[in-house]
Amino acid sequence: MTYPWPGNVRELKYSLEHACILCPGGEIVSAHLPADLLRFDQGQASPRLSALPPSRRGAQGGLTRDDLLRALAHAGDNRAKAARLLGVDRRTLYRNMAKHQIA
């Protein structure tokens, strides 16, 4: 109940779909939830790259090319996951990728 749902409704939908697929019976339990939710429940918040030192951020507080490349590498090129790691909306990630000419 205390999970912040950084991906909002899409993340909630994904989590429920994930749980339904893994649930062999009629009742979903915590073991059926995605790993990020379980880590949060155990007091181990999922890793975020948004807590970068201010000197690593762009002049306007935006994401640097290095921020984007690190997040994408950490997320295995999964853009939705990279956006969550950076603490930004996926559209913001795409906009910054275009700005820094990252395909």
The pLDDT score that the predictor gives to residue 52 is: 42
Amino acid found at 40: F
67: left (phi over 0), alpha (psi -120 to 50) or beta: alpha
Mind listing the pLDDT tens digit for each residue in 55-94?
A: 344 545 578 888 899 888 888 889 988 888 887 888 989 9
Amino acid found at 58: G
From the candidate CATH numbers 1.10.3470, 1.10.10, 1.20.1090, 1.10.860, the one assigned to the domain spanning 54-99:
1.10.10
Domain residues of the chain, as ranges?
8-41, 54-99
Structure token digits, residue 33: 């939830």
The pLDDT score that the predictor gives to residue 98 is: 94
pTM of the model: 0.47
Distance, C-alpha 46 to centroid of its chain: 8
d(CA 15, CA 94): 23
Contact 15, 34 (CB under 8 A): yes
